[in-house]
Every structure is written in structure tokens, then in C-alpha cells.
């Protein structure tokens, strides 16, 4: 909570006490229990006064109610005053002390009682809305089975060490991150990534804590301790980043922090005016009412409650939002720039066509290409190797940066590379046709003569066109950024429904394009978080796609979509827009409340009890409105009548 509010005890950076984090039951919040006791004492005092009970009994009950309720905010207020900090708790303490000085014990007790209720509701709502994030840690099972000395042993997850072999049976959750050694299965990762489709996994596959093993028994090598696994890192990063305040929250804090000393000065001036006109008691009482009327506690908590609720809700669908700053900025985004490979496409390129010229055959072209690519880790290489049934023995292979590969075959020079570095010659029309089909074309040359061309295409994600259509319908401008050639990029962009294409880009070029887009409208960049890091950092908001378990993606981006489903993008954008609207509603309501109550209190039209009641009821409304950000709207169905058009094959 803001320092300006200053209500309640010392809080964590996100405004939730440690006790409230662990216990979110309504009656487990100490402020709520104190308010309940105070309310009972006030009720008994009121009944006693109506039935003609002794005055000392009524007074004792009112003082008791005051002391119990004041315990929830006066001690913390005094501690903050010692540190030179004033806030809403200061105003309430002064107002209660002033009411006691005037002999208005009932009004003082009522003020403290209602303020304690608002404190309790704030604690409860803040803790409750964080539960969606903290619940991620509950996905880790209480026990894990490990093989030690060839014997299965059950241990707590905290005792797992790197290198241990976990045995995970069908239906069990993984206790920590690891790598499958033996076994094949389908993993349910919906609780982590928000994706409902099971993920197929086998030997060598990375698996993450909290995933549910579906069909087959597994042996998994532990690669991360329980306190440092992917789930723990997600929770740690979000909680650490929640202290990053967005523009709206800084505005609320700034207004509240300046308003409190201004109110105190105004109250002193009102009291001085009372002495000047000869009615010090009347104006002293009005000064106290003004103190309460101008309390900005609702303003100070209006944005933090909303942020915590919204971030917790997003985590439930596998979206990691790093604090209020990222959330507010995301709500203002109007341009979405998307990387092609791995974001709009599956990042699983495949050979779709092979062309040969002269005496060369398609099989010979593929075999020669496979021989050159044998040791390459490039995605195109994997596609060519997967398509080739034979592999030529090519030696002395060198990589020519930005061009291709060169090697020796039976004393001849052979090359594989992009058009331009290798002259397409008689295959020029074929290469252009491949590129217009959205494929990347590579040429193969043997002893100075081009002998063939291979088309490799990374298919669009099946949901890509639908997602782009929804973004466009929502008023977003979309752009595609890629290092591919312009013809291929244009074909893929057209298939996805994107009209603004930027091709032949290096990582630094992407960052420059983002700067240009930012000059027009607030811009988000969606990429993989590694080679797109400069663009992600340059954008108003960086969104990493498929970031589960990827430290670089989580650290670089402001938002991380933990799964591979692109449909989460429009969903989180809608969520951020709605959250920002709620923030603005809360700030506006809080300021309007202060603007209305101050003149009414100054003119004597409202007494202390009435102002306290109105103010605290409005604060409850603000909290309740902020909590609405924790309710995710059901995912709007994408247009099923507009299927993604298949790119025309070249073969």
C-alpha cells in the first residue's frame, strides 16, 4: 500500500501482510476480528443508552470499542510518525483524539470502528486476490518418489537434489523440473500454461514442476531444486516486480501524499479561523470532520488492489505480468508487433519442395544438401536432414556468415546458400515461386553450377489468422518483423492477415522498427525473448511467447505467455484494457468523493459520524470494484468461420 495511506501495520511491498498471505479466511484477518469486537461493544452501549442504563456503563463500553478498533491503526501510525511519515492513519488518529477531547466518545468509537472495518476488508481483499498466484506453489505434490541405490524412496520435494531420478507414475504431478530419461507420455500443463491440449514428451524432453503425467510411467532426472524450479521462479519474479508502480498507481500515490499534509494545514487554518470569529469549539469540530472527509485512503488503495487482483487472475491462465507498470502500459497498447518464427509460426520448418536442373535428381540434391548441413544446428538444417534419405560425404565444410555453407565433395567445391550468394540461373523462376508460397528457398551448387533448389517452410500456427483478425477487430494495428526475405515474409503475412511487413531484419533492425512504431502509438513486441531481446526491451511492453522454463524470456519481457497458444495474446490484452478502466474508475471515484465531502463538512452539513460512514462505505466500493479485475472474462470465441488458408504448395 502507498505510504500516503499509512493505514494498518507495516506491509509487504505489495501491500499484503505476511499473516494475510498465509491466511485468507475473512475471520482470520485481525482487523476484521477487532472491528467485530468493537462493533459488538458499540451495539451494547447503544442498547444500554436506550434502556436507561447507567452512564458509566455506556461510556465504558464506548471507550472499550474505541480502544479495540484504534489498536488496528494507531500503533502503526505512531511508528510511521517516528520515521517522519504521515498518512491517512495520521488523519484518523488526530480526528479520533479530537473527538475524545470534545467529549464525543461515541463518534470517536464509530470512526475507529468503521476505519477498522475498511482496514480489514483491504487486508482480506489484497490477500485473497493474490491467492491465484500463490496457488501455483500448491501444484507441487507433498511427496516425490526417487530411485536411490536402485530402491524407490519417498521424500519431500525440498529434499530433491540435481541428478536425482524421480519416478513419476500416470496421474502424478512432477515435484520439480527435470529431463525425461525413460518413458513416453502426454503431459497436462494446463495449470501452468493455460493450454488444454496435452503435450507429448519422451526421452530428452524438458518437463516442469506441477505438470501432470498422463499416460505412461516416467523416470525423470532432476535439473532444479524445489526452491528454484520454474514455479518458484514465476512466483518470486511476480512478487518482486509487483513493487514496480505503474503511471496510475504513481499518480494515486502522488495525489495522496500531497493531499495529507495539505489537509492538516487546512485543518489548522480552520481552527485559527474559529478563534478569530469567536467560536473555537464549533470550528475545531468542523476541522476534525474535514480531516476525515478529505482522507485519501480510498485513493491510495484504489490502484494497488486492482493491480494485485489482475496479476493474480492472469497467472491462472499462464500469463506472467511483471507488476503494475507492465499491466497499465499493456492496457494502453495500440500497436502489436510480432516476430515471425516461433510466434506466428510453429518453429518447425519442413521441406515442401525440391527442384533439380540438368542431370541432377531430386534425391541427389537433397543428399548433397544433407551432407553440407550434417553438423549444422540451424532449423533449416534439421528440416533438410529429416527429408533426406541419403547423405553425401562432404568434407571441409565452412560456414559463410549470412550466406550459406561451402565444402568439398570428391575434390569439387559444393555450396548451399541463399539466392544472391548463389546465382539461381535457370531456377530463378522456381525460387521466386517458392518464395511467393511463403517458403525459404536455398540453392545447391556443385562445382560452380547450380543443380537444385530446396523450399523449406515454417507453417503458421493454426490459430494465427484468427488471432490477428480478433486483434484488428479490437482496434489494434498489427505488424510482422522477420529476418526472412520480403517475398516470403509478405506471403506469410498475407496468410496471417497482417498488412504491415518488415523483412530482412537483424535483431538491431527490429529494435529500430519498434522505435518507429512507438513514435506513432504505444507498441508491444511479441517474440521469443532470446534473439528478439533488443526489440522486447525497446517496446513499451515486451511480451515473450512460450516462456515456460526460459529464464531469458522471463527476465527480458514485461509479460510472458508461458504456453504456446497464441490465443492468450488477445485475451490478456482485453484483460489489461479492462483492468486499466477499473483503475481509472477507482481514481475518479476517490477524487470525486473528496471533492464532495470537504465542502459539505466545512459548511457543517455533515457531522463526524455521517462523514465517516460515507467515506468508509465509498472505500469499500472502491475495494470491491478493484477486486473485479481478478475475474477473467470467459474467452471470447474466435471466428470459427474464417479458417487459416493453406499456402499453396509448390510441388
Is a pLDDT exceeding 90 seen at residue 124?
no
The pLDDT value recorded for residue 24 is 54
Say which residue, 538 or 645, is predicted with more confidence.
Answer: 538
Note if 353 is an active site residue.
Answer: no
pLDDT band at residue 245, thresholds of 50, 70 and 90?
low
What is residue 144's three-state secondary structure? Answer: strand
Q: Would you place residue 197 in the very low, low, confident or very high pLDDT band (cuts 50, 70, 90)?
A: low
- What is the length of the chain? 651
Q: By percentage, how much of the chain surpasses pLDDT 70?
A: 83
Q: What whole-number distance in Å separates Cα of residue 15 and Cα of residue 126?
A: 7
What confidence category does residue 30 fall into, taking pLDDT thresholds of 50, 70 and 90?
confident
Check residue 252 and give its pLDDT: 61
The three cell numbers of residue 134 are 500463490
- Residue tagged active-site, from 164, 253, 339, 565: 339
pLDDT band, residue 369 (cuts 50/70/90): very high
pLDDT value at residue 168: 93
Where would I find the H helices in 71-142? 74-82, 88-101, 105-129, 131-134
Residues 118 and 113: their CA atoms lie apart, in Å, by: 9
- Residue spans of alpha helices (H) in 603-650: 608-627
Question: Which residues fall within 8 angstroms of residue 496, CB to CB, at 6 or more apart?
Answer: 344, 460, 464, 465, 468, 480, 644
**The pLDDT value given to residue 550:** 55
User: What pLDDT, on a 0 to 100 scale, did the predictor assign at position 428?
Assistant: 94
Mean pLDDT of 321-336: 88
- pLDDT at 83 (0 to 100): 84
Would you state the pLDDT for residue 640? Answer: 35
Q: Which of 243-257, 345-359, 383-397 has the lowest mean pLDDT?
A: 243-257
Q: Which residues contact 529 (CB under 8 A, 6 or more apart)?
A: 536, 542, 544, 545, 547, 550, 552, 553, 554, 556, 557, 560
Range from 69-73, 135-139, 318-322, 368-372 carrying the lowest mean pLDDT: 135-139
Residue 121 has pLDDT above 70, yes or no: no
pLDDT at 266: 87
Distance CA 113, CA 101 (A): 18
| pLDDT at position 236 over 90 | no
pLDDT band (50, 70, 90) for residue 191: low
Cell of 309: 487482483
3-state percent breakdown (helix, strand, coil) of the chain, nearest 5? 50, 15, 30
In angstroms, the first-to-last Cα distance of the chain is: 63
pLDDT at residue 20 tops 60: no
Question: Which of these ranges, 164-178, 287-301, 306-320, 321-335, has the smallest mean pLDDT?
Answer: 287-301
The whole-angstrom separation of Cα 204 and Cα 182 is 8
Tens of pLDDT along 518-565? Answer: 999 999 999 875 567 788 888 999 898 876 655 555 666 788 887 788
* The predicted structure's pLDDT at residue 646: 39
Q: Where residue 5 falls among pLDDT bands split at 50, 70, 90?
A: very low
Average confidence (pLDDT) over 224-252? 67
C-alpha cell at 74: 494507531
Residue range 443-499, pLDDT digits in tens? 999 999 999 999 998 888 999 999 999 999 999 999 999 877 888 889 889 999 998
The band of 127, judged by pLDDT with boundaries at 50, 70 and 90, is low
Mean pLDDT of the chain: 81
Q: Cell for 45? A: 452501549
Res 394: pLDDT = 93
pLDDT for 250 equals 62
Q: Which residue has the higher pLDDT, 11 or 370?
A: 370
Question: Which of 420-434, 478-492, 541-555, 619-633 has the weakest average pLDDT?
Answer: 541-555
CA distance 548 to 420: 38
Give the pLDDT mean for 171-193.
84
pLDDT in tens, 563-585: 788 989 999 999 999 999 998 99
CA–CA dist 77, 334 (Å, integer): 43
List pLDDT tens digits, range 481-490: 987 788 888 9
Predicted pLDDT at 562: 79
Residue 328 CA to residue 582 CA, distance in Å, equals 11
pTM: 0.69
Q: Is the pLDDT of residue 86 over 50?
A: yes
More confident residue, 412 or 301: 412
pLDDT for residue 14 is more than 60: no
Amino acid at each position: 500500500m502507498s505510504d500516503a495511506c499509512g493505514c494498518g501495520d507495516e506491509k509487504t511491498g505489495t501491500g499484503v501482510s505476511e499473516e494475510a498471505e498465509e491466511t485468507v479466511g475473512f475471520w482470520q484477518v485481525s482487523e476484521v476480528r477487532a472491528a467485530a469486537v468493537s462493533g459488538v461493544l458499540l451495539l451494547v452501549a447503544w442498547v444500554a443508552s436506550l434502556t436507561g442504563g447507567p452512564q458509566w456503563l455506556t461510556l465504558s463500553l464506548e471507550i472499550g470499542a474505541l480502544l479495540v478498533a484504534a489498536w488496528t491503526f494507531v500503533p502503526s501510525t505512531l511508528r510511521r510518525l517516528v520515521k517522519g511519515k504521515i498518512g491517512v492513519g495520521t488523519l484518523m488518529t488526530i480526528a479520533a483524539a479530537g473527538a475524545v477531547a470534545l467529549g464525543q466518545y461515541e463518534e470517536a468509537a464509530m470512526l475507529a470502528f468503521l476505519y477498522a472495518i475498511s482496514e480489514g476488508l483491504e487486508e482480506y481483499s489484497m490477500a485473497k486476490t493474490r491467492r491465484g498466484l500463490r496457488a501455483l506453489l500448491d501444484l507441487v505434490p507433498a511427496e516425490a518418489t526417487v530411485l536411490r541405490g536402485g530402491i524407490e524412496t519417498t521424500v519431500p520435494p525440498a529434499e530433491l537434489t540435481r541428478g536425482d531420478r524421480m519416478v513419476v507414475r500416470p496421474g502424478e504431478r512432477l515435484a520439480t523440473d527435470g529431463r525425461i530419461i525413460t518413458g513416453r507420455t502426454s503431459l497436462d500443463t494446463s495449470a501452468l500454461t493455460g493450454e488444454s491440449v496435452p503435450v507429448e514428451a519422451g526421452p530428452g524432453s524438458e518437463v516442469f514442476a506441477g505438470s501432470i503425467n498422463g499416460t505412461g510411467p516416467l523416470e525423470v532426472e532432476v535439473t532444479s531444486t524445489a526452491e528454484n524450479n520454474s514455479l518458484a521462479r514465476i512466483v518470486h519474479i511476480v512478487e518482486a516486480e509487483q513493487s514496480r508502480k505503474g503511471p496510475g498507481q504513481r499518480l494515486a500515490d502522488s495525489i495522496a501524499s500531497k493531499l495529507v499534509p495539505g489537509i492538516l494545514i487546512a485543518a489548522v487554518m480552520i481552527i485559527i479561523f474559529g478563534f478569530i470569529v469567536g467560536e473555537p469549539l464549533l470550528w475545531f469540530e468542523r476541522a476534525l470532520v474535514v480531516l476525515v472527509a478529505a482522507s485519501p485512503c480510498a485513493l491510495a488503495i484504489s490502484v494497488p488492489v486492482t493491480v494485485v487482483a489482475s496479476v493474480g487472475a492472469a497467472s491462472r491462465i499462464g500469463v506472467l505480468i511483471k507488476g503494475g507498470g507492465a499491466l497499465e502500459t499493456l492496457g494502453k497498447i495500440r500497436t502489436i508487433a510480432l516476430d515471425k518464427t516461433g510466434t506466428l509460426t510453429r518453429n518447425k520448418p519442413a521441406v515442401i519442395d525440391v527442384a533439380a536442373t540438368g542431370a541432377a535428381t531430386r534425391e541427389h540434391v537433397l543428399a548433397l544438401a544433407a551432407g553440407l548441413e550434417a553438423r549444422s544446428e540451424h532449423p533449416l538444417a534439421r528440416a533438410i536432414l529429416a527429408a533426406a534419405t541419403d547423405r553425401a560425404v562432404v568434407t571441409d565444410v565452412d560456414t559463410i556468415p549470412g550466406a550459406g555453407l561451402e565444402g568439398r565433395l570428391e575434390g569439387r567445391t559444393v555450396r548451399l546458400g541463399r539466392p544472391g550468394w548463389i546465382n539461381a540461373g535457370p531456377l530463378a523462376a522456381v525460387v521466386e515461386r517458392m518464395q511467393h508460397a511463403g517458403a525459404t528457398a536455398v540453392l545447391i551448387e556443385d562445382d560452380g553450377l547450380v543443380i537444385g533448389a530446396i523450399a523449406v517452410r515454417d507453417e503458421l500456427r493454426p490459430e494465427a489468422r484468427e488471432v490477428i483478425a480478433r486483434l484488428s477487430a479490437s482496434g489494434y494495428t498489427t505488424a510482422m518483423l522477420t529476418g526472412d526475405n520480403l517475398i516470403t515474409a509478405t506471403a506469410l503475412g498475407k496468410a496471417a492477415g497482417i498488412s504491415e511487413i518488415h523483412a530482412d531484419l537483424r535483431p538491431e533492425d527490429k529494435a529500430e522498427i519498434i522505435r518507429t512504431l512507438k513514435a506513432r502509438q504505444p507498441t508491444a513486441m511479441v517474440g521469443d525473448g532470446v534473439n528478439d531481446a533488443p526489440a522486447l526491451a525497446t517496446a513499451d511492453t515486451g511480451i515473450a511467447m512460450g516462456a515456460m522454463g526460459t529464464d531469458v524470456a522471463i527476465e527480458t519481457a514485461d509479460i510472458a505467455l508461458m504456453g504456446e497458444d497464441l490465443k492468450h495474446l488477445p485475451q490478456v490484452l482485453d484483460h489489461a484494457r479492462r483492468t486499466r478502466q477499473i483503475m481509472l474508475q477507482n481514481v475518479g471515484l476517490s477524487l470525486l468523493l473528496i471533492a464532495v465531502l470537504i465542502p459539505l463538512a466545512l459548511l457543517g452539513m455533515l457531522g463526524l459520524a455521517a462523514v465517516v460512514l460515507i467515506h468508509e462505505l465509498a472505500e469499500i466500493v472502491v475495494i470491491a470494484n478493484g477486486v473485479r479485475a481478478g475475474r477473467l472474462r470467459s474467452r471470447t470465441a474466435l471466428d470459427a468461420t474464417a479458417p487459416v488458408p493453406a499456402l499453396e504448395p509448390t510441388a
